[in-house]
Amino acid sequence: MTAEVEVKDSGAASPPLTERQEARRRRILHASAQLASRGGFDAVQMREVAEAAGVALGTLYRYFPSKVHLLVATMQDQLQHMHTTLRKRPPAGEGAAERVAETLMRAFRALQREPHLADAMVRALTFADRSVSPEVDTVSRLTTAIILDAMGLEAEPTPQQLSAVRVIEHTWHSALITWLSGRASIAQVKIDIETVCKLIDLTSPGATAGQPGV
C-alpha cells in the first residue's frame, strides 16, 4: 500500500499558482538551493536569490517572507524530489524496518552529497518560529509519507505505528544535526537509524512484548 499523505504548500488556502507563477517559484527555489550548496545558510541572501532567480526583491518576499521561510520551502522541495526518486526505485529489504532504514540512509546520503545545503536547511528548521509552522508541517508530512511508503503497509497505520514513525523522524533529524556538527560519523548514524527503525516491528499489529508482529 502506498501512503496517501496529502502535502500542501503553506499557501494552501490561496488560489493555485498560475503556470508562470509556479515557474517563478521554481526558479527561486533553485537559486536558493544553488547558493546554499556553495556557502550554506549565510550564503543565502534574499537580494542575491532574487538576482539569481531573475525576479524583483519585492516579488521574492511575496513568495517567501523571510530567508527561513525560503530555506524550509527549499527542504520541502528537496524532500519531494527524494520521494519521487524513492518511489521509482523503492527499497529492497524484506521487512518494513529494514526498508525504512534503507530509505532513510539513502535520503541521508543524498543530503551528505550537499553538506552546505543540508546545513542551511536544517538551520532554517531550527530557527523557524510559529510563522513558519505551515512550511515545517509540510516537511514533516513529507518525511512521514516517505517512511510510510517504505513500510509498505497493507492497511491504514495504527496510532502505535504513527507514534513509531514520529520517533523515527525525530531520530533521523537529530542524527542529521549531530553529523553536520561533526559529533557523529556516518557509521554511527546508520546504527542509530537501524536501531530506531526496530520500533516498526514492535508496534506492528499482532506484536507482543518482546515479540515483533507478523
Do 102 and 166 form a contact (C-beta atoms < 8 A)? no
CB 76 within 8 A of CB 135: yes
Using 50, 70 and 90 to split pLDDT, how confident is the model at 205?
confident
Give the largest CA-CA distance in the chain.
60
Reported pTM: 0.84
- Report whether pLDDT(8) > 50: no
Strand-pairing partners, residue 211, are 208
Q: Are 70 and 35 in contact (CB under 8 A)?
A: no
Round to whole Å and give the CA distance between 205 and 200: 10
pLDDT of residue 14: 60
Mean pLDDT, residues 88-100 taken together: 91
Cβ atoms of residues 70 and 131 within 8 Å = no
- Straight-line distance from the first to the last Cα atom of the chain, in angstroms, rounded to the nearest whole number: 16
d(CA 64, CA 58): 10
Q: For position 31, what pLDDT does the model report?
A: 98
| Stretch 73-92: mean pLDDT | 92
Note the pLDDT tens digit of each residue in 135-170.
Answer: 999 999 999 999 999 999 888 999 999 999 999 999
Confidence band of 2 (pLDDT split at 50, 70, 90):
very low
Mean pLDDT value of segment 200-208: 81
Asked if residue 11 has pLDDT above 60, the reply is no
Query: Which tens digits make up the pLDDT trace of 15-65?
Result: 788 999 999 999 999 999 999 999 999 999 999 999 999 999 999 999 999
Cα Rg, the chain, nearest whole Å: 18
